[in-house]
Amino acid sequence: MPERATVVSRREKSAEAIVAARRRAEREGESTAMPLGHAGHQKPGQPGRTVGGEGEARPEASRDEARLARYESEGSGRADLLGQVLARGNLVAAWKRVKANRGSAGVDGLTIQATAEYLKTHWSQIKETLQNGSYRPQPVRRVQIPKSGGGMRELGIPTVTDRLIQQALLQVLQPLIDPTFSNHSYGFRPGRRAHDAVQAAQRYVQEGYRVVVDVDLEKFFDRVNHDVLMERLARRIDDKAVLRLIRRYLDAGVMGNGVVMERHEGTPQGGPLSPLLANVLLDEVDRELEWRGHRFVRYADDCNVYVRSYKAGERVLEGLRKLYHRLHLKVNEAKTAVASAYGRAFLGYELWCSAGNTVKRGVAHNAIVTFKRRIRQITRRTCGRNLNEVAEELRCYMPGWKAYFKLAQTPRVFRVLDEWLRHRLRALQLKHWRRGTTIYRAIRALGASSEQAARVAGNARRWWHNSRMELNRLMPIAYFDRLGVPRLS
């Protein structure tokens, strides 16, 4: 007993010494705890990381930070993250974001409008449970949506209240954590977008790294190991209340067909926190690739590493398998490949080599197939809508598609798609006119001669054939411009 008492006494003295030193440093303005107001200027060279932002977190530094965190008060300095999360201004901004996203209801069935009324009378109780650590998130609602390449993608829709709390957490944690991520990571980060990732890939290929290691993770968001993720997250934040709350969100069950199932791994897509947590986990792979000097681009769980030869690519792929295995993630061997960078789809784009050995961007084949499938749905000849209604629906879809693929350096592809779309609209109009006599009168009204109108009306049932002959001259591009049909070229 005396020996044990001596050991405890030494530990307490050591803790007191650490805290006293920390407080002296804070008074002198040299505290390592950064206020949230300055978090935007934080750089990757933080305690626990190698200088210059390369390599993994140093184990020694991480242990030192964890040791200090155990003895510090949770309510001091940077550790008081929960208080910042629950601050009125932060919650108001979070609610505006949730409301703007216009998501559907969770398992409680409350819409955004219904949740607003509910929170007027219940928020004080929810806030109290968040502060005392007794808050329990509700299960997420399972939703499955089809993938563009086949199969189904599983989403987990939290309740509107839980989306509000997650968004408030995100607004506080992202300014602290995001600056520590690799510059090669582009997905779900402020000021970064898919276009930046595509342009970075183009630069690497132009520099001569024309073999790509295209890694696909098997059901990444469903396979995230909670223990591994929380250990990586604890290296970056030391507020135990926030860590406990995030863990409870990870452990919240999934409701499908009225049955709640426990969840021991995965962070389902659908909640505001999921993308940030994914970047926290995968940043370890980014740092290892940086340390090895590789050229790579990562957008969420899509990672492309660019090398000069297939042999080098195989070595890189073997190393990545080991890195992902350490994170308890599995590589999808069916979709992973070491291949030529030309023609390999990445974020909807593909690269091609033009005259003069210049690398250019184009729309990937699968993206064009998806676009045509959607246009066929909008312009199907059995839809029972006139051209004005069809044009209105096209205006809802095409401008967004055009804006995303504006980086494509293939104007001829867009011209061909425009011609194909107008061809379908002419065929649609012919189908609506239907009878030969109706077609004859309508064609004459467009300014056709009696001979031209008779030729079109004589083949009344050949919608597609007729729509690219005489009708092509009678319904030119200007006709569809007047209807408000968008153009890609």
Which token pair is 12? 């307490």
Map residue 346 onto helix, strand or coil: strand
For 41, 50, 82, 189, the CA distances from 175, given in Å and listed in that order, are: 9, 20, 14, 10
Sheet arrangement for strand 211-215: 295-299, 302-307, 211-215, 337-340
Q: What is the pLDDT along the chain (489 residues), one digit of tens a residue?
A: 444 444 344 444 444 444 454 445 444 444 333 333 333 333 333 333 333 333 333 344 334 343 333 333 333 334 489 999 999 999 999 999 999 998 889 999 999 999 999 999 999 999 999 999 999 999 988 887 777 666 677 788 999 999 999 999 999 999 999 999 999 999 999 999 999 999 999 999 999 999 999 999 988 888 899 999 999 999 999 899 999 999 999 998 888 777 777 777 888 788 899 999 999 999 999 999 999 999 999 999 999 999 999 999 999 999 999 999 999 999 999 999 999 999 999 999 999 999 888 999 999 999 999 999 999 999 987 777 888 999 999 999 999 999 999 999 999 999 999 999 998 998 888 887 777 777 777 777 877 777 777 777 767 666 666 666 667 778 889 989 999 999 998
Angle at CA of residue 42, ends 75 and 188, nearest 5°: 95
Q: What is the pTM of this model?
A: 0.77
Contact between 423 and 467 under an 8 Å Cβ cutoff? The reply is yes
Identity of the residue numbered 46:
Q
The pLDDT value recorded for residue 210 is 96
CB atoms within 10 A of CB 409: 15
pLDDT at position 460, please? 65
Integer Cα distance of 359 and 303 in angstroms: 20
CA distances from 465 to 385, 423, 446, 470 (A): 21, 10, 19, 10
Helices in 41-159 by DSSP H: which ranges? 59-71, 81-85, 88-101, 112-132
Instruction: Check if the beta carbon of residue 256 is closer than 8 Å to that of residue 142.
Output: yes
- How far, in Å, CA of 343 to CA of 350, rounded? 5
Size (the chain), residues: 489
pLDDT of residue 125: 95
Query: How confident is the model at residue 469, as a pLDDT?
Result: 66
Q: pLDDT at position 188, please?
A: 92
Which tokens go with 309? Answer: 């030869």
Residue 27: the pLDDT is 46
pLDDT attached to residue 231 = 95
- What gap in Å lies between CA 89 and CA 36, rounded to an integer? 14
Instruction: Fill in the amino acid letter for 301.
Output: D
**173 with 272: CB under 8 angstroms?**
no
